[in-house]
Amino acid sequence: MYRKLIYLVSFVLVLGLVGSASAALPQGWQSQDIGTTGGSADESGGTWTISGDGADVWGSSDAFHYAYVPLSGDGMIIARVVDNGTGSNTWSKGGVMIRETLDANSKHMIMALTGGDGSGIAFQGRFQDTGASSSSLHGTISAAPPYWVKLEREGNTITGYHSADGVDWEEFTGGADNAGGTISNPIDIDMAADAYIGIFVTSHAAGEVRTYTFDNVGTELPKAAMGADPADGAIHADTWANLSWAPGATAVSHDVYFGENFDDVSDGTESTFQGNQAETYFIVGFPGMPYPEGLVPGTTYYWRVDELEADGTTKYEGKVWSFMIPPKTAYYPDPADAAESVDPDVTLSWTAGFGAKLHYVYFGDNFDDVNNAAGGLPLGTATYDPGPLELAKTYYWRVDEFDIVETHKGDVWSFTTQGAVGNPNPANGAVDIKQTQIITFSPSIFAASHQVYFGADKNAVKNADTGSPEYKGTRDLGSESYDPGILEWDTTYYWRIDEVNDASPDSPWPGILWSFTTANFLIVDDFESYNDLDPGDPESNRIFNAWIDGYDDPTNGSLVGYETPPFAEQTIVHSGNQSMPLYYDNSVGYSEATLTLTYPRDWTENGVTTLTIWFRGDSANAAESLYVALNGNAIVTNDNPDAAQIGEWTEWNIDLQAFGINLANVNAIALGLGNKNNPVAGGSGTMYFDDIRLYPPTPGP
C-alpha cells in the first residue's frame, strides 16, 4: 500500500467547490444518457445521486448514465460509492470512468462497484478499438459500499485504484476476462487527448433504473483550457461561430487569440490577441465582433485560450485549436482523389460545397476532357452512378456546385479501378522522403510492360510522351521500379506509370500523376525499407542483416529485431510504420548494433551540423549509458545516465563536431548501451530507435 498525499490536498480544494454548488450539478459538469434513456444525475451538499438504466457497460456497446467534465491530457477522478442501490441484476455497475467520446461504442476504462457479482468490484474497459469488445479484472478482491475507487490517466496509461478508507490506495488486481484483449492494470490505451472524465451508473437490466449514491467526488484536471467547441479540426458549416471551452481548474480569466495563421496564433502576435475576458465563450464572424463581415468559406481558422489565475500573472498557455469553414466547391470525394483498386460498380459521392443547391458532374477517362467540360445536367443529391466501369483503368471526375448565386468549378479528381497500376512507393503526396529513394509500383493485370515518367515539373510529367525528357524508359514485368539517383533537398517530384500492351489498340493507358516531396534534411535511417522476405529473395532486406548486432559475437550483448516476422517494430514507432527494436544484455559488458553506410557518407552535405536520433526505453530497463559511435570508435554518450529508462519517444540532438572525426567520410554508425571502451557487466532491457537524421542549422529570422 502507499499514500499519494498530493492528491489529498487537491481533493480538499475540489470538494469544497463541489459541496457548495447550488445547481443540480456543479459548474462545468454535465450529464446524459448514453445508449439508453431514463437516467439522471444530481448533486447536493457533496452527495451525488446517479440513476442509470441500460443493459450494461460491456461488450461492443454501452448503455448507462454519465455525469462528466471535459478532460484534456492527464487527469484523475476519485469517488466513494456510498450505496449501490437495489435492482434485479447483481452485475449492475457504478463508479468512475474516463471515456474518449460520448458514443455508446467509445473506448473507455472504469473502476466500479457492482451489485455483488465479480466480488463486488471491477477494473474494466474497451481499450483496443472503438466498437471492440470489453475486458475486465475482477473476482479476486472483494468490496462493498461504502468503498473508494479512483482512475488516473498519465499520457496513454490509465490506472485503476481502490481503497477502503480513501487514504491507503492499491492498484486493483483480479482474475482476467480477456474478451476484448489482454487486460492489465495499468493499461496502455491509445485514446485522444481530449476526452471525458466522470461518474456513471448502469442497471445491467434494460428498462430498469438503478440508483447509486456517491460522495467525496474529486477531480484533478489540467490547468490549461480544454474541451474546445467547435472541436479541434472540426468543419463548421456557418460563417459565424460561438467559440467555447471548459476552463482550466484554477482559471479566473482567459486570454483569447484568433486568426487565420497557425504560427501567428501560436506565437500570440498582436494581430491575433482578442483580449482578456471572464467568459468562457467568444463570438466571431458577427457584426460588432471580430471578422464582422463573416468567416470565409474554404478557410481554416486557428484559436488559442491561455488561462490566468487570480494573481493575474500565473498563466497556462493553451494548445492551438482549429476549425474550417467548408469551401463552396465540392470536397471530400469518395473514392478519394488518386484512389486505387476501386470497384468497377462504384457510386461516386462527395460532400456538397457550402450553400450548394445543385451539382453538375463531369466524368470520363481523359483529364483534359473532364477539366474543360461544361453544360452538364444538374443533380439534386451529392452522388453519381457512372455505370459499370472497365477494370485496370484511370477515370477522372469533376463536380461543380451551384449555390443559387453562382456556379463554383470543382477540382478534377481521379481514381483507378481494380487491376490498374497501383501501390506507389513513396505513397502519393508523401513528404520527408530520402534523397536516394527508389520508386516502386505494382503492375497492371493487362500490361505487358510499363512506361516510366519522372520529373520536378508537374505539367511536364502529366503531358509527357516517349519523346519527352521526363520519359525514363520502359520496365518489363517483374521490374516495377525506377532509381532516379540522388534527388534534390526539399523538392516535389512527380511521376506517372503508363500501362503498355501492344496487343490492344488502346495502348498505352496513361496512369495517375503521383507526387512526393524530399526532406529538407538527410535521412540516415528511417527504418521504413526493411522487410520480412526470405534471404534468397533479391528484394530481401531484413533489419538485422543491415544493423549488425552481437548474434555471432559473444562480447556484444545486442540483438536487433524480433525472432519471427515482422522483424521490425510496427507498433511502437515515432513516425512512419516501423522502428528498430534493440535488446541489450550487458552481462557481457556492452551492447551495440552497427549500420554500414552507403549514403549519406558525406556528413557535411548542405552544411549539416546536427545528428538527431529518436529513442525510447522502458522504466523496467536496466540503467545503462546510451551512446552513438561513428566509424567504430568516435563515441558520444547521452547526458542522461538513465536514458534507457525513459518510456516515451525522446529526441537526442548531437553537435557533429563532438565526434572529432572527418565528417566528409562517415562509413558506419553504431547505437549502443554500456561503456564500449571499458566494458563492465550490467543489466538488460529493450530500446527502440527511429528517425536518425542530419539537419543543417535552422535559418535565422
Summarised one tens digit per residue, pLDDT across range 478-493 is 999 999 999 999 999 9
Mean pLDDT, residues 87-109 taken together: 96
pLDDT by residue (tens digit) across 305-314?
Answer: 999 999 999 9
pLDDT at 306: 97
Compute the average pLDDT of residues 520-531: 96
Distance (Å, whole) CA 549 – CA 415: 44
Percent over 90 (pLDDT), the chain: 85
Q: How much is the mean pLDDT over the chain?
A: 93
DSSP annotation string for 168-195:
SBEE---EEE-TTS---SSEE----SEE
Q: What is residue 435's DSSP assignment? A: T
pLDDT digits (tens, 9 = 90+) for 6-50: 232 233 333 333 333 334 899 889 999 999 999 999 999 999 999
Q: CB of 302 within 8 A of CB of 330?
A: no
The whole-model pTM stands at 0.66
Q: CA 89 to CA 133: how far, in whole Å? A: 21
Q: What is the pLDDT of residue 9?
A: 28
Write down the pLDDT at residue 31: 96
pLDDT at residue 5 in the model: 27
Contact 525, 594 (CB under 8 A): no
Nearest Cα to Cα of residue 265 among 232, 308, 311: 232
Residue 163 confidence class, pLDDT cut points 50, 70, 90: very high
DSSP secondary-structure letter at 116?
B
pLDDT level of residue 592 (50, 70, 90 thresholds):
very high
pLDDT one-digit tens code per residue, 50-85: 999 999 999 999 999 999 999 988 899 999 999 999
Note the pLDDT of residue 700.
Answer: 55
**Cα gap 575→694, rounded to integer Å:** 16
Q: State the average pLDDT over residues 492-520.
A: 91
Q: Say yes or no to pLDDT of 4 above 80.
A: no
Using left for φ > 0, alpha for ψ between -120 and 50, and beta otherwise, residue 28 falls in left
Question: 322 CB contacts (<8 Å, ≥6 apart)?
Answer: 232, 233, 262, 300, 301, 302, 303
Q: What is the mean pLDDT of residues 361-387?
A: 95
Helix segments in 409-515, DSSP class H: 458-463
Distance of CA 72 to the CA centre of its chain: 15
pLDDT given at position 227 = 83
For the cut 50, the answer to whether the pLDDT of residue 670 exceeds it is: yes
C-alpha cell recorded at residue 339: 484512389
pLDDT at 687: 98
Across residues 339-357, what is the average pLDDT? 96
Q: How confident is the model at residue 663, as a pLDDT?
A: 98
Q: What 3-state class would DSSP assign to 230? A: coil
Which has more confidence, 4 or 275?
Answer: 275
Q: Which domains does the chain have, with CATH numbers?
A: 5-220 (2.60.120.200), 226-324 (2.60.40.10), 331-417 (2.60.40.10), 422-519 (2.60.40.10), 524-695 (2.60.120.260)
Beta bridge partners of 289: none
Q: Give the C-alpha distances (Å, rounded to integers) separating 478 from 213, 294, 408, 449, 504.
A: 69, 57, 45, 9, 20
Going by C-alpha positions, the residue among 656, 524, 686 that lies closest to residue 591 is 686
C-beta atoms surrounding 202 within 10 Å: 31
pLDDT value of position 95: 98
For 643, which DSSP code? G
CA separation for the pair 513, 516 (Å, rounded): 11
Window from 8-12, 578-582, 584-588 with minimum mean pLDDT: 8-12
C-alpha cell at 524: 540516415
Confidence at residue 505, expressed as pLDDT on a 0 to 100 scale: 80
Question: Does the pLDDT of residue 513 top 90, yes or no?
Answer: yes
CB 10 within 8 A of CB 220: yes
